[in-house]
């Protein structure tokens, strides 16, 4: 499967409660970073990877996203999947599946920017014969994020927050494919993709992972939002 045939779903419907004192009038993915909405950095990475079609899952203040991007961002065609109430990451993916088509697609978080290579994810799917590929990043302390247990590109477990020390973290960029799609579409209206799908899937079937190829930043908390401009400086 060529990269330009892989659609991407960007989860941009979260409430962003921890940033609300800093950014109250726009959804979290639209928080300004170095004079640009953060979501532009996320979409830049799709354009860099020759992805040509994206679905943005929107909810809280979603009209701000629609007004800014419309139906395209450079060569990237954009559609929208709307949540009339919070559905969790799993419910948001479930609702967007009919718009994505195909037997595989990318999932990204609209409040996380990371450089990755679509070819790496596609190759890992074939090499490990898996329907789930994660993008991971090495950090000095996994405490805030939880950890990914992996060896040789094969993932054996996701460890919840509470551990500390150096290790791999989940960057929130996934290739979702095949039978895993069946599990997502059979889920309830609202659920967590990470807790209710990924964890049991990895326990039963395992998964694959590939390393991010550039900087990683999650603007979910004010301290990281404050350093986002410095982290993303090379990509401006």
Domain boundaries, given as residue ranges, for the chain? 3-235
Separation CA 172–CA 45 (nearest Å): 14
As a whole number of angstroms, the longest Cα–Cα distance in the chain is: 45
The tokens 């967007």 sit on which residue?
Answer: 96
Separation CA 201–CA 208 (nearest Å): 12
- The arithmetic mean of pLDDT across residues 211-221, rounded, is 91
For 61-100, letters b (16+ CB in 10 Å) and e give bbebbeeebeeebeebebebbebeeebbbbbbbbbbbebb
Q: At 60, list the tokens.
A: 């809280």
The percent of residues above 70 in pLDDT, for the chain, comes to 94
Q: Per-residue pLDDT tens for 51-61?
A: 999 999 999 89
Separation CA 54–CA 79 (nearest Å): 6
Q: Per-residue pLDDT tens for 92-148?
A: 999 999 999 889 999 999 999 999 999 999 999 999 999 999 999 999 999 888 899
Of 13-17, 92-96, 154-158, the one with minimum mean pLDDT is 13-17
Of 136, 212, 129, whose CA–CA distance to 168 is shortest? 136
Of 153, 184, 6, whose CA–CA distance to 87 is shortest? 184
Instruction: Supply angle C-alpha 76, 80, 86, rounded to 5.
Output: 135
Is pTM beyond 0.75? Reply is yes
Residue partners of 123: CB distance under 8 A and separation at least 6 = none
The tokens 């979260």 sit on which residue?
Answer: 14
Of 214, 212, 211, whose CA–CA distance to 150 is shortest? 211
E strand segments, 118-205: 132-139, 147-151, 154-159, 167-177
Sign of the torsion formed by the C-alpha atoms of 57, 25, 228 and 230: positive
Instruction: Supply angle C-alpha 24, 228, 41, rounded to 5.
Output: 85
Helix (H) or strand (E) holding 41: helix 38-48
- Crossing angle for the helix pair 38-48 and 62-69, nearest 10 degrees? 50
CATH second-level architecture of 3-235?
Alpha-Beta Complex (3.90)
- The arithmetic mean of pLDDT across residues 212-234, rounded, is 88
Dihedrals phi, psi of 56, to nearest 5 degrees: -100, 120
């Amino acid at each position: 499967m060529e990269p330009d045939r892989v659609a991407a779903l960007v989860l941009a419907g979260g409430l962003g409660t921890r940033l609300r004192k800093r950014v109250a009038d726009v959804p979290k993915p639209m928080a300004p970073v170095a004079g640009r909405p953060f979501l532009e950095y996320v979409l830049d990475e799709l354009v860099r990877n020759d992805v040509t079609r994206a679905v943005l899952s929107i909810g809280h203040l979603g009209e701000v996203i629609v007004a800014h991007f419309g139906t395209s961002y450079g060569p990237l065609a954009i559609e929208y999947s709307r949540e009339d109430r919070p559905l969790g990451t799993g419910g948001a993916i479930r609702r967007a599946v009919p718009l994505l088509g195909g037997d595989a697609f990318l999932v990204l978080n609209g409040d996380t920017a990371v450089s990755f290579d679509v070819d790496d994810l596609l190759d890992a799917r074939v090499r490990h014969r898996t329907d789930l590929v994660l993008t991971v990043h090495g950090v000095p302390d996994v405490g805030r994020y939880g950890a990914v247990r992996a060896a040789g590109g094969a993932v054996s477990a996701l460890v919840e927050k509470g551990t500390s020390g150096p290790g791999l973290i989940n960057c929130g960029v996934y290739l979702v494919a095949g039978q895993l799609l069946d599990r997502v579409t059979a889920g309830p209206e609202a659920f967590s993709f990470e807790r209710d799908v990924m964890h049991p899937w990895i326990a039963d079937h395992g998964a694959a992972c590939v390393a991010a190829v550039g900087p990683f930043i999650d603007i979910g908390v004010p301290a990281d939002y404050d350093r986002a401009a410095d982290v993303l400086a090379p990509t401006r």
